[in-house]
A and B are shown apart, each in its own frame.
Chain A
Amino acid sequence: DADVTQTPRNRITKTGKRIMLECSQTKGHDRMYWYRQDPGLGLRLIYYSFDVKDINKGEISDGYSVSRQAQAKFSLSLESAIPNQTALYFCATSGGLAGGWDEQFFGPGTRLTVL
C-alpha cells in the first residue's frame, strides 16, 4: 500500500464550487505539505503543518485553506474554485531531521480542473 495517498486523483469542477482534496499518510510523519504544480513553474508551496496544532502559509496560500484533522490527515480546500486553480496538486510528508536531512515523500497527486 502507498505510504501517502490522495483523494480524489482527478476532479473536474465548475467555477465557484467548494472543493476538498484529502491526504493521508501511514509514515508516522509529523510534517505535511500541500503543493501545486503548473507547467514550467515547478512545485509551489501552498500550506504546511509541522504538527497537528501547527498550520503555516506557504508562498501561494490565497484562495486556499487547510485542516490538519490528525497526524495522518491533512486536507486542502478551495472555498470558491476559479479556473486559474486548475493544476496538479501534491501532498507531501517528512519526518524532520532525524535522518540527517528532511526528505519529503510525495503522494500521487490530484489533477484538478476548474471550468
Chain B
Amino acid sequence: GQNIDQPTEMTATEGAIVQINCTYQTSGFNGLFWYQQHAGEAPTFLSYNVLDGLEEKGRFSSFLSRSKGYSYLLLKELQMKDSASYLCAVIKAAGNKLTFGGGTRVLVKP
C-alpha cells in the first residue's frame, strides 16, 4: 500500500513564501506530482518530479528526495489567487496509477 501525508491546512500572508511538505511510503515509486485545486474546480497540474532535486517553474518550485520519501512544493511571492488546495500524488511504475494525499488547503491573507 501507500501512505501519503501532507498537512491539512496552512495560512500565509500575501507576498510571503509557503512550503507544503509531502511524505510518502511506497514501493515501485515512479514519480511525484503536485496539483492545484481551487474550491469546487478540477485539479490542474503544477509539477512532476522523478529525480532528486529541485524543479523550478516561475513562482512555484517542487523538490524531491527519493531516499527520504519526501517532497515539498514551494510557493513564492504569494498572491490571493494562490488560495487553493495543493494535492501531492505518487505514481507507481506498475499500473501507472496515481495515489493522492489528502491535500493541503492554503489560505492567503492580505
Contacts and interface: CB of A to CB of B under 8 A. Distances in A.
A109 B100 contact: no
A79 interface: no
Nearest to A106: B42
A4 B101 CA distance: 23
Interface string B56-95: 0000000000000000000000000000000101010001
Interface residues of B, number: 24
A108 B48 contact: no
Nearest to A50: B96
B91 A102 contact: yes
A98 interface: no
Q: Interface residues of A toward B: which range?
A: 20 to 34
A83 interface: no
A45 interface: yes
Interface of B: 4, 8, 31, 33, 40-45, 48, 50, 87, 89, 91, 95-103
